[in-house]
């Protein structure tokens, strides 16, 4: 779903939470997604 709606902060956060459950190899990607979600919300660009 994230690929279909890349500008949705809530969906990005959900994806990040799921990645954190898969171990430390995914932590950097999860943190990037969470950061992008924060940026979109702060800039008002998120849905």
Q: What pTM was computed for the model?
A: 0.80
The pLDDT of residue 5 is: 81
More confident residue, 20 or 4: 20
CA 22 → CA 3, 12, 18, 31, distances in Å? 19, 16, 7, 13
Question: Residue 33: what pLDDT?
Answer: 94
Please give the structure tokens belonging to residue 11: 């969906």
Return phi, psi of residue 16, to 5°: -60, -45
| pLDDT the model gives residue 1 | 63
Q: Which of 24, 5, 42, 23 is nearest to 14 (CA)?
A: 5
* Alpha-carbon span 17 to 12, nearest angstrom: 9
In the prediction, which pLDDT does 44 show? 86
- Going from N- to C-terminal start, the domains of the chain cover 9-43
């Amino acid at each position: 779903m994230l690929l279909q709606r890349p500008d949705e902060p809530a969906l990005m956060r959900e994806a990040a939470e799921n990645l954190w459950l898969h171990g430390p190899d995914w932590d950097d990607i999860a943190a990037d997604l969470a950061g992008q979600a924060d940026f979109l919300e702060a800039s008002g660009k998120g849905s």
